Amino acid sequence: MSQTRSELAVLGMDCAECTLHVRQAIAALPGVRGVEVFLAAEKAVVDYDAAQVDLPAIRKAVQSAGYQAPAAGAGEDVSESLAQTSARFGRAVLWVLGLVFGAVLLVVVAGEWLGLFEAVTARVPWPIGWLIVFVGWVPVLRNVIAAARRGQATAHTLMSLGVLAALVVGEWTTAAIVVFFMRVGDYVEHFTAERARRAVKDLTALAPKQARVLRDGVEAMVAVDQVAVGEVVVVRPGEQIPVDGVAVEGSAMVDQATLTGEPLPAEAGPGTRVFAATLVRLGSLRVRAEQVGRDTTFGRVIRMVEDAERHRADVQRLADRFSAYFLPFVGLIALLTFVLRRDPLATAAVLVVACSCAIALATPIAVLASIGAGAKRGLLVKGGKYLELLDRADVLLIDKTGTLTLGQPQITDVVSLDGMTPDTLLALAAGAERYSEHPLAEAVRRASQAHGQELAAPSHFEALPGFGVRAQIDGRQVTVGSRRILAGGPLPAQAQGLEADGKTLLYVTVDGQPQGVLAATDTIRPEVPAALAALRGLGIERIELLTGDNPRTAAALAEPLGVAYQAELLPADKLEVVRRYQAQGKTVVMVGDGVNDAPALAQADVGIAMGAAGSDIAAEAAHVVLLRDDWALVPEALRIARRTMRVVRTNIGYTLVYNLVGLTAAALGWLSPVFAAVAQSIPDLIILANSSRLLRQK
């Protein structure tokens, strides 16, 4: 069996019902093992056996369901063209549509109240009336028939039955007006879906399209996807950096707002790591490419936002399940209306007034608006599920190094034992830490280099999670790490005084014998106190620091901030703390740097990775990714979640009440098919207006 995964563009989807139809059409093909369809990203991800089915067959299945599935590359071009056309003519089209809609609505209302329709109907031969109806109805009817062949019913199925009922009783004018408002409703749903996609498309539009590559000493403009890893790209003032890489020549001020939301530009020069989609404001750079296209940090951002629909909120799943039963329920109400009242027009009104798409759109519109708006500010949420969990959060657990602190510790003390000189101790420790990525390891290396020492190259290196590192240097085994490496042995006398000062200690052993202690200090991020106060104001019941440091150091850091702490924890211990709170029924948020805390971040109900730009581990482990080191984004994530879920609950409550009132009024004969058609197009507009507020979050 040849298992293959492919992505294909799917255009023309306007609501969750559309994604269901596409999913069912693809899943029915032999050899398809799994399929996911994304409304906002306008794509399907299909796992299939290439020996049984191919992409052309999958595209044909999508087209048979009534949607477009252009070939690779064409979908992006078509989507981009449609977006540009919409942006260029959107206001004018809406203005004209508003005038037409208003005029027709006025005529409908006046005609219905004054009884003009009956006079018009009497003067026009029924074949001409039917022809008028079918001109607008045929495109819809074609899709209804195609769905019926697949054993599916849609909102248009019910409305088409209403149109048919009106025609049968000779009310072709009513049928024509129902068709008109059916088409208006289709446009509204399409516009609503496009509005939800706007944040995603705006983000995608920021991706660089071309790069100036240096080849054989000559600059050549090429498409970004044609840049090879290792090539040097030239970026001039005012141009986007097209790749992730390292600057090898030049100097510039780089505006990273598109990636991190940070408004102040950062200085870049040789050795500086830079990212795709950021903008060179002053100066110029030559950058050696390390990641290109979808592998860049910005590419991963787009991919995470597109795939956010994969992690749907429970309330959205509930709405989807409700939608699945809603159409049969409406059909039953219509049948009972006809049986009990013997009124075809009241039956038609019941079929027409139902707003199933409004229920399906109530959650994804709001969620996509918030996710897209947050991404522009450097705050990535991987799905509505995590917005819903953030809304319920009551426990916050925090890592220390690189999270609560700046992650730039400085070595302040070098205490040697047994006659070893401080310089020798520092040189051995720096050599052992040469290949470690921990911030404390970087501090040791900086201190060694500041003393003019050359880093030794260990012949063997081993990371010991929760303990430290072990390395072989010049035939000696050197271990650097927490007090655990002493295996319960006595602490040096000087260590207690350093711990009392709140310093983090690194112990050094050589061939199993303690040889000294290195003390380091780090600085709490300046925005942390205000952020913690904001989190308490948002209802977080308990905030707790989890650290591998000793209790004295942990207390010196936690007590001024007014938070609880647990010290001397291994990564497995942090994981167990998360599980313990979850067993108590708490919704746990874990904030870490995404590297050492990956297990706890993944286990938490919501894991938040700080400063994760360029970090694959952080992006994979966490559920919320902060692309810049700014604690103000943590309470902001909770605020966004609270606002989003309020809008979702409002949307769902409104659509349920609206449908209940509409169905009741139609069944009792208080709502004619004409006014039912008008009423059917209103909920989508209300949901759009309510959810669009999230796009303007400050």
CA neighbours closer than 13 Å in the CB half-sphere of residue 136 = 19
Average pLDDT over residues 395-400: 91
Contact 327, 307 (CB under 8 A): no
SS3 539: coil
Which tokens in the block code for residue 621?
Answer: 């482990």
Which tokens in the block code for residue 206?
Answer: 């920021």
Euclidean distance between CA atoms 401 and 407, whole angstroms: 5
Of 178, 157, 144, nearest in space to 327 by CA:
157
Of 577, 594, 595, nearest in space to 586 by CA:
577
Which tokens in the block code for residue 238?
Answer: 């005012």
Look up the CATH architecture of domain 379-405+524-641: 3-Layer(aba) Sandwich (3.40)
* Phi, psi dihedral angles at 253 (to 5 degrees): -100, 125
Type of residue numbered 300: R
CA neighbours closer than 13 Å in the CB half-sphere of residue 303 = 13
Annotated active-site positions, please?
Answer: 399
Euclidean distance between CA atoms 347 and 338, whole angstroms: 6
pLDDT of residue 25: 87
Q: Would the CATH topology of 228-291 be identical to that of 379-405+524-641? A: no
Q: Which fold has domain 410-521?
A: Calcium-transporting ATPase, cytoplasmic domain N (3.40.1110)
Residue 106 banded pLDDT, cuts 50, 70, 90: low
CATH code reported for the domain at 3-72: 3.30.70.100
Contact 506, 492 (CB under 8 A): no
Q: How far is CA 675 from CA 113, 175, 681, in A?
A: 11, 12, 10
Which tokens in the block code for residue 130?
Answer: 């039917």
Contact 473, 458 (CB under 8 A): yes
Residue 331 banded pLDDT, cuts 50, 70, 90: confident
* Phi, psi dihedral angles at 504 (to 5 degrees): -90, 130
Contact 337, 668 (CB under 8 A): no
SS3 206: coil
Which tokens in the block code for residue 629?
Answer: 């080191």
SS3 187: helix
Q: Are strands 244-255 and 32-38 parallel, antiparallel or unpaired?
A: unpaired
Share of the chain above pLDDT 70, in %: 82
Question: In this predicted model, which residue has the larger pLDDT, 546 or 127?
Answer: 546
What pTM was estimated for this model as a whole? 0.71
pLDDT of residue 76: 47
Task: State the distance between the two ends of the chain, measured CA to CA, in whole angstroms.
Answer: 51
Average pLDDT over residues 455-472: 88
Type of residue numbered 567: A
CATH code reported for the domain at 228-291: 2.70.150.10
Which tokens in the block code for residue 474?
Answer: 């010049």
CA neighbours closer than 13 Å in the CB half-sphere of residue 470 = 11
Listed by start position, the domains of the chain span 3-72, 81-202+306-367+645-696, 228-291, 379-405+524-641, 410-521
Question: In this predicted model, which residue has the larger pLDDT, 62 or 170?
Answer: 62
pLDDT of residue 120: 61
Query: Long-range contacts for 435-443 (Cβ within 8 Å, ≥24 apart)?
Result: 435/461, 435/469, 436/463, 436/469, 437/595, 438/401, 438/596, 439/401, 439/402, 439/407, 439/408, 439/409, 439/522, 440/401, 440/409, 440/504, 440/506, 440/520, 441/469, 443/408, 443/409, 443/410, 443/411, 443/520
pLDDT tens-digit series, residues 623-638: 888 888 889 999 999 9
Question: In this predicted model, which residue has the larger pLDDT, 54 or 698?
Answer: 54
Euclidean distance between CA atoms 349 and 472, whole angstroms: 83
Q: Residue 71's Cα: distance from chain center in Å?
A: 26
pLDDT tens-digit series, residues 41-77: 778 889 898 888 888 899 988 888 878 888 755 444 4
3-state helix, strand and coil shares in percent for the chain, rounded to the nearest 5: 55, 20, 25
Question: In this predicted model, which residue has the larger pLDDT, 528 or 37?
Answer: 528
Euclidean distance between CA atoms 9 and 471, whole angstroms: 51
Euclidean distance between CA atoms 195 and 90, whole angstroms: 11
pLDDT tens-digit series, residues 205-233: 778 888 999 888 888 899 888 889 999 99
Euclidean distance between CA atoms 36 and 386, whole angstroms: 19
Q: Is the pLDDT of residue 1 over 70?
A: no
What per-residue string of b and e applies to 480-496 under the rule 16 or more CB within 10 Å gives b? bbbbebbeeeeebebbe
SS3 608: strand
